[in-house]
Structure 1
Amino acid sequence: MQINGIHHVTAIAGPARRNLDFYGRVLGLRLVKKTVNFDDPGTYHLYYGDAAGAPGTILTFFPWEHAAAGRLGVGETQETAFRVPEGAIGYWTHRLVEHGVVHEQPQKRFGETVLAFRDPDGMRLSIVGVPGIESEPAWGEGGIPADYAIRGFHSVSLLLDDAAPTGAILSDVFGFKEIAREGTLIRYQAEGTPLGNIIDLRGAGGFLPARQGAGSVHHIAFRATDDAAQQEMVRRLAENHGIRTTEQKDRNYFRSVYFREPGRVLFEIATDVPGFAVDEAPETLGQALKLPAQYESQRSRIEAVLPELA
């Protein structure tokens, strides 16, 4: 059975140590994989998520020490939102104040309480209070009490010149359905999982185009159960929307294809398999530097140029 929704979100950051401190200590996420950028092995690729590194919980970063700041604009992810129990918003408001995190006052969006804030690079994030998720598993070793801890992605919002063509792909290819509208936001939701099952589209015709940099989301990955499910999505994209993807790329923990959707946001289709425990025991995820096979012979040189994380 195909489970639809977000597989992971990948963003660009500044210094790696600062990134790890914020997402690991302030937000209490688990570092589930420490590897390198496949195209730039002198740079980390850091993966954060829940205890198991489940699809729908994974936020990843390419941290470049001296990356210039990005600029929000059309053709980009506007906000990445996490889920917490409804009663945890007060805790998180206090925690953001305590750690000096730039944030807004809680507000209502589609009937849910949303606490918007930014990471040290200016990436737009939010925490959404969701009723009835108190009993869901949470990573209990990140310094956040389990009653308040993050439980995967709630949603991402995209800033687009025209929302309709992107909405058509969400519906036809990725199994989302439009469920509500509020102001300029159109909400799409996928069934089958509570994690990362919401995409909000905001039409902003005539707004400046995005400029990628630190604080920008590089791409959003959608789930495909396996290779066959991925190929079916590739077929629908080509036959129904005239969009071709890249060839499949093996990312060790999932297999991926990429394409630009009509609004110019970079989308990925990533398989759920084989998962993050393929080269590490579940209890030690994220502790060792894992390199793609083609770089293993260069380990000493790569380790020498990567910045210290602790």
Structure 2
Amino acid sequence: MTANTSGLHHVTAIAGEPQANIDFYVKGLGLRLVKKTVNFDDPSTYHLYYGDEAGQPGSLMTFFPWRGIAPGRIGTGQSTSTAFSVPEGTLGWWQNHFKALGVESSITRASAEEERLSLRDPDGLQLDLVASSTIDPRNPWDSASVPAEYAVRGQHSSVLTVANPDKTVAVLTEDLGLHLVGTSGNRTRLAAGNGGAGNIVDVIADPKARPGLTAGGTVHHIAFRVPDVATQEIWRQELAGRGFHVTEILDRQYFTSIYFREPGGVLFEIATDTPGFDVDEPLLELGRSLKLPPWLEPSREAIEHSVARIQLPAENNPALAGR
């Protein structure tokens, strides 16, 4: 391939109650809600984006929250765990923080370099906080719930579970440009660029597991970064030439996207770094208002009537407190 991904862009999952989702990711995980919009394919439900202060690629976790959705099943053909990077030595603080919120968690040492706190969000989505001896230089969102010294720096890695890993690993290396870091048991670790937090994908082989069922508490897709639309179009043409069923370039307002499914069943997205989340509201006001693309603006009144009422914690926009 003539283009390589520069790392993880975002992970999109499916949730249930939107207010519970907001409370957990803003107050519990300490992320910022950087955009409140709707699912462009189903405008009756939200699309919520969380990340660092500006919603930089690699910090993002997004959700389609459908009220009353049935629980899904985590299994093969899915991204089965999403990990965030936190500073070394902070997992004790995080465990106490989640305990105060009534969230159970457990700490394990994945390797000499990595310690991991595992937990589940209100819909049962598997999350990990990874504290590594390698310093993550990214700036965190400093919130009232999670001070900067403990805060999430961005995505650390994603786990893909497949029945047969060979073709999945081949796509990641030959078509997306990741390189092999190492193997341990049934886990193969790959990385983009120079590796490190925000660039890591772990492929787990589990031929005995049942196929996953995409619904509440499961990941819908995982997105990789590309700098701009011109590079994205080159990539789209090359993937199509290799036999993948790739979508046209789709306008997501804050980036453009193409989608294809790898042989193990996981839905991949390739998303651009630009234009970013301040394209339609100032940085200080990110997440405050319901934002719609131009083609949905004529239906704003109906959309606002159909989506659930939600309340954004004041700490999401501290500079505007009381306004």
Same fold by TM-score, threshold 0.5 exceeded? yes
Question: Are the aligned partners of 1:49 and 1:58 in contact in 2 as well (CA < 8 Å)?
Answer: yes
TM superposition score normalised by structure 2? 0.91
1:83 aligns with 2:111: no
TM superposition score normalised by structure 1? 0.95
Question: Are the aligned partners of 1:134 and 1:147 in contact in 2 as well (CA < 8 Å)?
Answer: no
* Matching residue's letter, 2:55: G
Residue segments in structure 1 that go unaligned for 5+ positions in a row: none
- Identify the residue that residue 63 of structure 2 maps to in structure 1: 61
Distance 2:207 2:50 in 1: 33
* Matching residue's letter, 1:298: S
2:90 counterpart SS class: helix
Offset of residue 195 of structure 1: 4.7
What is the total number of aligned residue pairs between the two structures? 309
- Identify the residue that residue 126 of structure 1 maps to in structure 2: 128
Distance 1:306 1:161 in 2: 38
1:116 counterpart SS class: strand
State which of 15, 18, 35 in structure 1 corresponds to 2:17: 15
- Identify the residue that residue 43 of structure 1 maps to in structure 2: 45
State which of 98, 101, 105 in structure 1 corresponds to 2:100: 98
- Identify the residue that residue 113 of structure 2 maps to in structure 1: 111
Offset of residue 193 of structure 1: 7.0
Question: Are the aligned partners of 2:113 and 2:133 in contact in 1 as well (CA < 8 Å)?
Answer: no
Offset of residue 187 of structure 1: 0.3
Offset of residue 137 of structure 1: 1.2
Percent of aligned pairs sharing the same letter:
47
State which of 146, 154, 157 in structure 2 corresponds to 1:155: 157
- Identify the residue that residue 183 of structure 1 maps to in structure 2: 185
Please list every run of at least 4 consecutive aligned residues from structure 1 whose deviation after the TM superposition is greater than 6 angstroms.
none
Question: Are the aligned partners of 1:221 and 1:270 in contact in 2 as well (CA < 8 Å)?
Answer: yes
- Identify the residue that residue 291 of structure 2 maps to in structure 1: 290
* Matching residue's letter, 1:281: P
* Matching residue's letter, 1:305: S
Question: Are the aligned partners of 2:85 and 2:136 in contact in 1 as well (CA < 8 Å)?
Answer: no
CA displacement 1:34-92 (0-9 Å, x = unmatched) = 00000111100000000111000110000011010010111001100000001111111
* Matching residue's letter, 2:117: L
Distance 1:86 1:55 in 2: 22
* Matching residue's letter, 1:104: S
- Identify the residue that residue 8 of structure 2 maps to in structure 1: 6
Question: Are the aligned partners of 1:36 and 1:45 in contact in 2 as well (CA < 8 Å)?
Answer: yes
State which of 29, 35, 44 in structure 2 corresponds to 1:27: 29
Offset of residue 292 of structure 1: 1.4
CA displacement 1:71-115 (0-9 Å, x = unmatched) = 011100110000000111111111121211132233324731011
CA RMSD of aligned residues (A): 1.7
* Matching residue's letter, 2:202: D
The 5 Å alignment of 1:173-212 reads 173-192=175-194, 194-212=196-214
